[in-house]
Chain A
Amino acid sequence: MELSFPVVRVRDLHKSYGAFEAIRGISFDIEAGETFALLGPNGAGKSTAIEILEGYRDRSSGEVSVLGVDPQRGGLAWKSRLGIVLQSTGESGNVTVTEQLTHFAGLYPRPRRVAEVIEAVGLESQAKTRISKLSGGQRRRVDVALGIIGRPELLFLDEPTTGFDPEARHQFWGLVRRLKAEGTTILLTTHYLDEAAQLGDRAGVINDGLLIDIGAIGEIGGADARVPLVRWREPSGVLREKRTPEPARLVAELVAASGAEPAELEVIRPSLEDIYLGLVRGSRALNDDADANTADLLEDDTEVLA
């Protein structure tokens, strides 16, 4: 039945520009109401993948369905169900925030109220200001406002908080949570891993055109990547670190062994960022024999750092 059909469905997607393969066969689904974070370094193929889903680019091969429609054949009725926040653009912006939002609201069959959207992105005091006069972060909020004015079923957010100050970023997270609560399906790309951890239900990590991992935010990278890390400096001056599911026990042993407080002691629970970096480095190492050999040389699970 259509009700259980995923909002986004990608199967064995390939995209080449001439001889360069930007995407080398990725598959994933995004279910209705889910917030899915697509992560990966610059040039990994994230933007290409998103632009294929948005209908901006044609794929080389594979199957793609967005809201039940092939994006290459998506008509105006299909577009009216999408909200697209592109990466920053450089439009001249000779209209005010209210004028721009009012105009865009008129393009959609069931728009949100303009004043309400301006409030949601926190631009009430700039409502009558020309967009060209706004700061970078404020312009980015206009981008987000234009993305949600049409009351989209599926919202694409491509690095939405670039240029936001920390407070604006937290406000934006609140907005995304409200959209999610209304049932909006969201596809998010971001370089801020804490943002992905805050907002995402699931994440996929793309590197070199391949999906190297996909899963719930709390599970991505596997259980091993989440094992806490204890780091300390030995009396001999060597900095050591050890992964252990029982960091408190290790610390107690260290204290018992040396009879003193270990120097520079840290217990680190890996953040999504640590896990992500591990994943991306790992997939690079697989592509690179030299890196793999270096990894093998490290002594079992205790790493000597310096």
Chain B
Amino acid sequence: MSNNETGSGGRGTSTTAAASAEGRRPSTRPGTGLVTVLRVGSSRVGYETRMYFRTTDSVFFTFLFPFIMLAIFTAAFGSSGNIGTAPDGSGGISVGAYYLPGMLAAGMLLSGVQNLAVDIAGEKGDGTLKRLGGTPLSPLSYFIGKIGQVLVTGVFQAALLILVARVLLGIDLPTDPEKWLTFAWVFLLGVITSAFLGIALSALPRSGKSATAVVIPIVLVLQFISGVYLQFYLLPDWMQNAASVFPLKWMAQGMRGVFLPDSFASLEQNESWDFPLIALNLLIWLVVGLVLSRVTFRWIRKDT
């Protein structure tokens, strides 16, 4: 945005004179420009994160949900033996270890898609966005705030999940640094993609009240077909292929590639972790989310 259209002459009114006569902060800070966009954006990350943790719904249904699911799966299936055992019943990994990657992927999806779609649709409905639209807040700063909030809460959630897995469930974690590097890029790419898709999806609900009713079924179905709750290799081919169209399948596959033993790669569709394909699919969805966010985002619905 440029400053030109207002000109400096327009400010030379008695208002400005009176205001500066009070002798406070002169107009040195730029009103617009990249520096301001970034400064305000980073201040919004803190503001948004604070709001997130103060909202019971988001803490329970987004932040704690993967923990609850992990606890349920471990409790329900833990006694039925390991997964991926040899014919003689030896080897394999515990149920908790098998579900950890899925829960991490679910956390990425929930923190991004579910959290932002419901959050922004709510802000549209309750007047938050209308108020912000009347201030000199750049939509870019607003996006930075939302994506930053997703990153901060997503990282915190994943770190806590891994800690719980290690300390409470005694799950072995990868020791190879290369695995952690893979974790880092799959996680970052997945979370940012989820965040943009969440912003895009927030345009769908007609009101803040209907947001959860619209968003949660979508997210839930994706989790069932993408190998989060159900073991992916047990799903029929057509369902695996359908899931491959959407990003969650690739996030879950990437997380399995990091946390499961390499012998499990043979259970994947192409009998390999397919990391380049994961990167490609997530990147495509990132671009789709970015474009849809930009095209659909409005401070208010203009009814003309």
Contacts and interface: CB of A to CB of B under 8 A. Distances in A.
Interface of A: 2-3, 7, 17, 32-33, 54-58, 60, 67-69, 73, 75-82, 84, 86, 89-92, 94-95, 99, 103-104, 106-113, 130, 146, 150-151, 153, 182-185
Given A75-B32, A153-B13, A183-B14, A56 B6 contact: no
Interface stretch (B100-108, B121-129, B247-255, B262-270): B121-129
Given A86-B127, A91-B128, A95-B51, A3 B133 contact: no
Given A3-B13, A68-B6, A76-B1, A150 B135 contact: yes
Contacts of A112: 24
A80 B136 contact: yes
B126 A79 contact: no
14 contacts: A57-B302, A69-B5, A76-B1, A80-B136, A81-B11, A89-B127, A92-B55, A92-B126, A95-B47, A109-B27, A109-B29, A110-B27, A151-B19, A182-B18
B2 interface: yes
Q: Give 5 nearest A-B pairs by CB, closest first.
A: A89-B127, A80-B136, A183-B18, A84-B134, A183-B15
A150 B25 CA distance: 12
A153 B302 CA distance: 26
B127 A91 contact: yes
Interface in B17-56: 17-19, 22, 24-27, 29-32, 39-40, 43-44, 47, 50-51, 54-55
Contacts of B44: 103
Given A56-B300, A76-B32, A89-B131, A32 B9 contact: no
B236 interface: no
B210 interface: no
Contacts of B80: none
B137 interface: yes
Nearest to A3: B12
B303 interface: yes
Given A78-B5, A81-B11, A103-B47, A91 B31 contact: no
Contacts of B30: 109
Contact of A95 (B13, B50, B137): B50
Given A67-B6, A91-B127, A107-B135, A77 B302 contact: no
Interface of B: 1-3, 5-7, 9-19, 22, 24-27, 29-32, 39-40, 43-44, 47, 50-51, 54-55, 122, 126-128, 130-131, 133-138, 300, 302-304
A67 B2 contact: no
Contacts of A58: 302, 304
Contact of A56 (B31, B126, B133): B133
A16 B192 CA distance: 41
Contacts of B31: 76-77, 80, 108-109
Given A76-B31, A79-B135, A90 B13 contact: no
A197 B303 CA distance: 34
Contact of B43 (A3, A79, A91, A103): A103
A118 B161 CA distance: 42
Majority secondary structure, B binding face: loop
B14 A107 contact: no
A120 to B, nearest CB: 13
Contacts of A130: 54
B134 A75 contact: no
Given A77-B6, A79-B134, A89-B126, A183 B24 contact: no
B136 A77 contact: yes
Given A76-B31, A99-B50, A106-B43, A184 B15 contact: yes
A32 B44 CA distance: 34
Given A54-B134, A89-B128, 8 more contacts: A17-B303, A67-B10, A76-B138, A86-B127, A103-B43, A153-B15, A182-B15, A183-B18
Contacts of A92: 51, 55, 122, 126, 128
B42 to A, nearest CB: 10
Q: Which of B10, B32, B54 counts the most chain A CB atoms within 10 A?
A: B10
Contacts of B47: 95, 99, 103
Contact of A110 (B17, B26, B55): B26
A183 B5 contact: no
Contacts of B127: 86, 89-91
A95 B5 CA distance: 35
Nearest to B1: A75
Contact of B15 (A33, A80, A91, A109): A33
A79 to B, nearest CB: 4
Q: Which of A81, A107, A150 counts the most chain B CB atoms within 10 A?
A: A107
B281 to A, nearest CB: 35
B63 to A, nearest CB: 15
